Amino acid sequence: MSVVGVGTDLVQVERVRRVLERHGERFACRVLDQPEMQRWRTHADPGSYLARRWAVKEAAAKALGTGIGGSLGFHDLHVASTAAGAPQLEVTGRGAETARLLGVTRWHVSLSDDGGFALAFVLAEGAPATG
């Protein structure tokens, strides 16, 4: 196995909070899938929760080299947590097909937040497609 792609994203939590103040749940619905929305609605700090999810999803899009758009949407990326609390990434829909075509078989995610920022690092592992 080898590295197919690497992505990182840094998000200012306060900026996400301001967008939420202006656009509310409509904005969160654009970024989060249904299970994430359920967690967001009950989270003690919804702005921070959304900023962290945004960072992971953007970092994953960068690892694929596609960005968010035609071949990958925010809802194709689900950020969950292991029993130990570590972030994990599940890719579905168009995103899963894009990852498969690129040879991605495994995702590694690191997520940190401090000083008003959320930082995500995503590594896509697999056998790079040839051709």
The residue ranges of every structural domain in the chain are 2-126
**pTM score:** 0.93
CATH superfamily of 2-126: 4'-phosphopantetheinyl transferase domain (3.90.470.20)
Considering only CA atoms, which of 15, 123, 129, 4 is closest in space to residue 59?
Answer: 123
Going residue by residue through the chain, which has 131 residues, state the pLDDT in tens, using 9 for 90 and above: 799 999 999 999 999 999 999 999 999 999 999 999 999 999 999 999 999 999 999 999 999 999 998 889 999 999 999 999 999 999 999 999 999 999 999 999 999 999 999 999 999 999 866 65
Distance CA(11)–CA(30), nearest Å, equals: 17
